[in-house]
Amino acid sequence: MIAIALVEHHAKARADYLASRPLPDFYMEDYSIVGILVEDFQPVEALLRKSGYTVVTRPGGGEVGLDTIADLPGILAELRRHGFAADVGDVADTIYQA
């Protein structure tokens, strides 16, 4: 099983989420964490749990368990079907090691 981040769009939630994860000591270029970006974490988390997905909660967000990355379109479709806007994007888009 793999997991993808589930985080609210705003910077505070993303910062809290990133602070809860270990970052590598060294990396050679931009560091990225791909995730599902939503407006309001709690109702999205509740819907995904109700729909049978595993969600691990962290400060600022969490991770959704997937059998394979091919499950991602189904998650996005489920969210949109229930009126939630969801995008896939970089959760860590402000981290760069010089």
51-97 residue pLDDT tens: 999 999 999 999 999 999 999 999 999 999 999 999 999 888 765 55
For the segment 5-61, what is each residue's pLDDT rounded down to a tens digit? 999 998 899 889 888 887 766 655 666 788 999 999 999 999 999 999 999 999 999
Domain boundaries, the chain: 2-19+30-90
Q: How do beta strands 61-66 and 2-8 pair?
A: antiparallel
Q: Are 38 and 6 in contact (CB under 8 A)?
A: yes
pLDDT at site 15? 86
What would the two tokens of residue 92 be? 């860590």
For 88, the 3-state DSSP assignment is strand
What's the pTM?
0.85
Q: Which CATH architecture has domain 2-19+30-90?
A: 2-Layer Sandwich (3.30)
